[in-house]
Structure 1
């Protein structure tokens, strides 16, 4: 197995490549959970190259990805948005061919190290209530459920999620 290499999204080209990866992962994984129409809506609204680059330029969101050889295999986005914790893990997605190989843990380890450095006490995220595989993976990574929320995202769609949180050991 190739050792994954972590990269920071730093250019519009990186954002375009990441958007392509998001489209691949979301279409494969989320269509059965939320339907093709909502997948397309959310990709266009939250995962377009333009939106990713705007998030980065605003200095509020950090995007990183993992390469496995020449293949972009997984990515994560996080911010200092408070709510249920100090650091919001807004995105953590792994390409189907790479699931079960520890890439989510590699990304999370990077985030935990950053949180320790910045004295953040906890990480929180939202996950679709029907995304049982991801919920179990997050629990194995130390997260626990702290709430259930429904968020109107426009376009006639909602996100029906659990809120998960993990404390950061200092």
Structure 2
């Protein structure tokens, strides 16, 4: 398997919006109303919102290509771009998504290892993320990778308030 990471730039906004909407929908559509899902996809992944996020020097988006095909993407934040904590010693994994046809091939681990590598290169002491309380597969994956639940926060999905667990992994 030939794997490549490409940094997303403003010229990738169209593709980023498309893959972000697709992967989020694939992951959560079954557990949310279609109205709630549509509203969230449009507010979180519209081109203007993504342009703001990509332009933030404390955020990084990476596409993962498998054998030349876009498999998924990763978004990490540091410093004040983090959605919580804003701790200079931490790196947030805000988004880590794979297209459905690329799941089950170990690429989730590849994306996570890339985030850890970025954190280590930037001398971070830990990485952290928020994961929806009902996403048992993801929670299990992160626990298997050494993350522990350290708290929770509210996540607004459209008008609906949901709960994310905050998970953290110390780095050596």
TM-score, scaled relative to structure 1: 0.88
| RMSD of aligned residue pairs (Cα, Å) | 1.8
> 1:90-148 deviations in whole A, cap 9, x for unaligned?
10011111112111211121121121121101111111110111111111222111112
Distance 1:39 1:152 in 2: 11
Query: SS state of the match for residue 158, structure 1?
Result: strand
1:110 correspondence with 2:117:
no
Deviation at 1:19, TM superposition (A): 1.2
Structure 1 counterpart of 2:138? 134
* Mapped contact 2:10–2:54 kept (Cα < 8 A): no
1:98 correspondence with 2:96:
no
> 1:33-82 deviations in whole A, cap 9, x for unaligned?
23222222222122223222211112232100111123211111011125
User: Which moved further from structure 2: 86-95 or 46-55?
Assistant: 46-55
Distance 1:128 1:69 in 2: 30
Structure 2 counterpart of 1:55? 53
- With over 3 angstroms needed to count, the CA separation of the structure-2 counterparts of 1:60 and 1:41, relative to structure 1, is farther
Query: SS state of the match for residue 152, structure 2?
Result: strand
Structure 1 counterpart of 2:5? 6
Distance 1:65 1:158 in 2: 29
Q: Which runs of 5+ in 1 are unaligned?
A: none
Distance 2:31 2:58 in 1: 29
TM-score, scaled relative to structure 2: 0.87
* Mapped contact 2:75–2:96 kept (Cα < 8 A): yes
1:83 correspondence with 2:85:
yes
Q: Which runs of 5+ in 2 are unaligned?
A: none
Structure 2 counterpart of 1:167? 170
After the TM superposition, which segments of 4 or more aligned residues of structure 1 sit over 6 Å from their partners? none
Structure 1 counterpart of 2:72? 74
